[in-house]
Amino acid sequence: MDGNDKFNGKCLALLLLLFTGMIAVLNLVVPDRAFSEAENRVLKQMPQFSMTALLSGAFTSDFETYVSDQFALRDLWVGAKTDMDRLLGKKESNGVYLGKDGYLIQKFVPPVEGDLQAKMEAIQAFDDATSGLRKYMMIVPTAAAVLQDKLPKYAETGAEEGYLDKIRRLLSPDIHFVDVFPALYAKREHVFYKTDHHWTTQGAYTAYLELCKQMGLNPQKEEDFIVRQATGEFYGSLYSKSGFRHVQPDSIELYRPKDQGKYTVTFVDEGKASNSLYAPEQLEKKDKYAVFLNGNHGLIRIETAQTNEKKLLVVKDSYANSFIPFLLKHFSEIDVVDLRYYEQDLAEFVNRQGIQEMLLLYNVNTFSEDPSIQYLSE
């Protein structure tokens, strides 16, 4: 019996050694990847060594991230770990909750003290520099606030709503706050994707109706659109981020007005133009949500068939990409700016273009996390 134990122990040690050696060899021979399709993000590359970076700890930290990102068979290990956690009853992974009915819901993390104040001061400075511009602000709550009944029982709630209340209190009375929470809450079903952090096209339409009330626009009815499914195989950002794999894919619907008329979409920075707000080629890629506006760009100009000479500026994150098609009926020109990629003086641009109205549209997570909003004051 003792002999068998020793033999079994040696076999296990040999297998462990072979496994460790195999992983080490794979890490050496497998080339580094620039992008993870499964996680839908850019992966860390080998950091540049310097004594300054080493002594400051920056090199060590970056190298640890690099090793983690480039570890051989990373996607397999991430999926296996999440599957094991799920078997053990764990319903949170990498800041994403596994909720009821297959919903993956991103946890809201409030920003550091003073961050919101700095952003609101930047918005106020921009307001002062463009006093003739009528402004509307739509900060969209996420599924974490609207679909709280889908969250696990232990999930923290209330932080997102508290943050939105602070925004309202700090906002200048000259800027109209478009509160879409009640409308999204009333609708609830199908207003957020289950595997992605964005709202669905149905959710965007629901918010569009609220904006029309604030802006005095005559909204388009749902029956004015041809609704078709662009794909039924959409695995979104939260699927990628969490590692939860055994969930059903989402579908993406496009709302096409029956009497849209012709329009031109110009991607100004790229010097390219299109006659469509949609990029069907993106449906063949991982990030299928990029079918709307072909993803994010610094500046997009949309010239519509309307002759009312009304010009709108939309300063936004990617939530606006599926929202903007509903606006073409109401404006002759729409300029769409993503401050993460736009480097010009926006106040000067507004005054030069003679824009009359502005919509600031972000989801609450991006508004909380994205520092580029402060560029409004520069």
Query: Has residue 169 got a pLDDT over 90?
Result: yes
Q: State CA 41 to chain mean position distance.
A: 12
Q: Where are the alpha helices (DSSP H) in the chain?
A: 2-29, 51-56, 58-70, 74-87, 115-129, 143-146, 159-170, 181-187, 201-215, 237-242, 346-353, 364-369
The last residue of a domain, from among 55, 78, 102? 102
Residues 124 and 98 both lie in one domain: no
Residue with the larger pLDDT of the pair 148 and 57: 148
Q: How many structural domains comprise the chain?
A: 2
Q: What angle do CA 70, 74, 75 make, to 5 degrees?
A: 130
Helix axes 159-170, 115-129, angle to 10 degrees: 30
Share of the chain above pLDDT 90, in %: 67
Residue with the larger pLDDT of the pair 53 and 365: 365
pLDDT in tens, 267-287: 999 999 999 999 999 999 989
Residues 231 and 137 both lie in one domain: yes
The last residue of a domain, from among 102, 121, 139? 102
Q: What angle do CA 140, 211, 166 make, to 5 degrees?
A: 40
Residues 33 and 94 both lie in one domain: yes
Measure the CA–CA gap between 177 and 43, rounded to whole angstroms: 38
CA-to-CA separations, 118 to 13, 40, 115, 140, in angstroms, rounded? 57, 30, 5, 20
Q: What is the DSSP string of 306-331?
A: --S--EEEEEE-GGGGGTGGGGTTT-
Res. 36 pLDDT band, cuts 50 70 90: low
Q: What is the pLDDT of residue 91?
A: 82
Say what the pTM is: 0.83
Measure the CA–CA gap between 122 and 43, rounded to whole angstroms: 32
Residues 25 and 134 both lie in one domain: no
Residues 87 and 128 both lie in one domain: no
Residues 143 and 69 both lie in one domain: no
Residues 33 and 171 both lie in one domain: no
Residues 225 and 248 both lie in one domain: yes
Question: Strand order of the sheet with strand 333-337?
Answer: 175-177, 134-140, 357-363, 311-316, 333-337, 299-303, 264-267, 272-274
Residues 202 and 266 both lie in one domain: yes
Handedness of CA 114, 115, 120, 126 (dihedral sign): positive
What's the rounded mean pLDDT across residues 170-176?
95
Residues 204 and 74 both lie in one domain: no
User: How many residues are given for the chain?
Assistant: 378
Q: What is the pLDDT of residue 18?
A: 72
Residues 46 and 76 both lie in one domain: yes
Res. 66 pLDDT band, cuts 50 70 90: low
Measure the CA–CA gap between 88 and 277, rounded to whole angstroms: 45
Measure the CA–CA gap between 82 and 312, rounded to whole angstroms: 45
Measure the CA–CA gap between 105 and 191, rounded to whole angstroms: 13
Query: Has residue 7 got a pLDDT over 70?
Result: no
User: Residue 340 belongs to what domain range?
Assistant: 110-377
pLDDT in tens, 192-242: 999 999 999 999 999 999 999 999 999 999 999 999 999 999 999 999 888
The last residue of a domain, from among 74, 102, 130? 102
Residues 238 and 138 both lie in one domain: yes
What's the rounded mean pLDDT across residues 112-128?
94
